[in-house]
Chain A
Amino acid sequence: MAENNQQGCLFVGEGVTLKGSFDIPDIASISGCLEGEITAKQIVIEASGSVRGKVIGEMVDIRGELTEHLTATRSLIIRSTGIVNGAIHYAEIEIEKGGQFRGDIHIIDDSQGPR
């Protein structure tokens, strides 16, 4: 899907390490290592990917590892290989069998959550 139109997208390949603050209008696909703050419409952390820091997205799909803070304003899926450690704020969640989560979790109220 993202391969057709890469405008506004960020791809972090396996073996790549990025540090900093990122504002991505469309899709962020992370197979490498990312540290810092990341805001995107759609965030996919691939199985080989790991993110440490603050992650904010509408739709978040986790197959890799995420540590610290995550906000998903629309939907959040933690796949069977996904591991999340830290705080989560979500509107809708699904955790596949085998998916792991340690930390605090909160539901975003429809009234205050950005849609």
Chain B
Amino acid sequence: MFSIISPNRDLPNTADELDENLAEETFDSAEEMTSEENSSEDDLAHHPRVPLKPTIISEGFEFVGTITSNGAVHIAGLVKGKITANSVLIEAEGEVDGEMMTDRLMVKGSARGDIHCKELNIGPRAVVDGIVSYQNMHIQRGGQISGTFKKN
């Protein structure tokens, strides 16, 4: 990392060169820090390389296709297609039409289609319609569900 070719090669110990060296050094150490942080969080989550920030489909946004994520997906817009993620949150304005495969699913909006999940939580104003397979579920009073339910 000290192999920087400085334009002031003739004057090796200029302030410019020192600055550059320092800058590179701090950058390297910062990178090490973040990678360390990630590995400790991996241990906590028992899942390798889980992104900490959710993917967000905002209100007014329409997505058609397949979403695959190791992390969380928050949906406030409309998604038609397949979602595979560690956790999915469908906000009150959100709508999903298609297939979902996830460990944790929280529905505040509406969901239609095939749902495979471990933890299912349906909010009081949610609408869920389809074939649902779950391990654990909690349906809050007022949540509207219809279709076929299977417990894994």
Give the docked Cα–Cα distance between A99 and B139 (Å): 9
Is B148's CB within 8 Å of the partner chain A? yes
Determine which of A94, A98, A105 lies in contact with B146 in the assembled complex, contact meaning CB atoms within 8 Å. A105
Is B50's CB within 8 Å of the partner chain A? no
Are B149 and A102 in contact, CB atoms less than 8 angstroms apart? yes
* Complex interface residues of chain A between 78 and 115 (CB less than 8 A to chain B): 92-107
Are A95 and B136 in contact, CB atoms less than 8 angstroms apart? no
CB distance from A84 to the nearest CB of B (A): 9
Determine which of A103, A104, A107 lies in contact with B144 in the assembled complex, contact meaning CB atoms within 8 Å. A107
Are B142 and A101 in contact, CB atoms less than 8 angstroms apart? no
* Complex interface residues of chain B between 121 and 152 (CB less than 8 A to chain A): 136-151
Give the docked Cα–Cα distance between A77 and B140 (Å): 10
Please indicate the chain B residues that have their CB under 8 angstroms from the CB of A77 in the complex.
Answer: 141
Please indicate the chain B residues that have their CB under 8 angstroms from the CB of A94 in the complex.
Answer: 139-143
Are A97 and B138 also in contact (CB < 8 A) when A102-B150, A102-B151 are? yes
Are A105 and B145 in contact, CB atoms less than 8 angstroms apart? yes
Main secondary structure of the interface of A (DSSP, over half): strand
Are A92 and B142 in contact, CB atoms less than 8 angstroms apart? yes
Name which residue of chain A comes closest to B143, CB basis: A93
Total interface residues on A, using CB and 8 Å?
A: 17
Determine which of B141, B146, B151 lies in contact with A101 in the assembled complex, contact meaning CB atoms within 8 Å. B151
Please indicate the chain B residues that have their CB under 8 angstroms from the CB of A97 in the complex.
Answer: 136-138
B43-63 toward A: CB 8 Å interface, digit per residue (1/0)?
Answer: 000000000000000000000
Give the docked Cα–Cα distance between A104 and B151 (Å): 12
Please indicate the chain B residues that have their CB under 8 angstroms from the CB of A100 in the complex.
Answer: 151
Give the docked Cα–Cα distance between A102 and B133 (Å): 9
Give the docked Cα–Cα distance between A77 and B138 (Å): 11
* Complex interface residues of chain A between 8 and 47 (CB less than 8 A to chain B): none
Please indicate the chain B residues that have their CB under 8 angstroms from the CB of A92 in the complex.
Answer: 141-142
CB distance from A24 to the nearest CB of B (A): 25
Give 9 closest A-B pairs by Cβ, nearest first: A95-B139, A94-B141, A97-B138, A101-B149, A104-B148, A102-B151, A107-B146, A100-B151, A106-B146
Q: Could you list some 10 contacts between A and B, CB below 8 A? A: A77-B141, A92-B141, A96-B138, A97-B138, A102-B149, A103-B149, A104-B148, A104-B149, A105-B146, A105-B148
Q: A93-B139, A102-B151 provided; 8 other pairs, C-beta below 8 A?
A: A94-B143, A95-B139, A99-B137, A100-B151, A103-B149, A105-B147, A105-B148, A107-B144
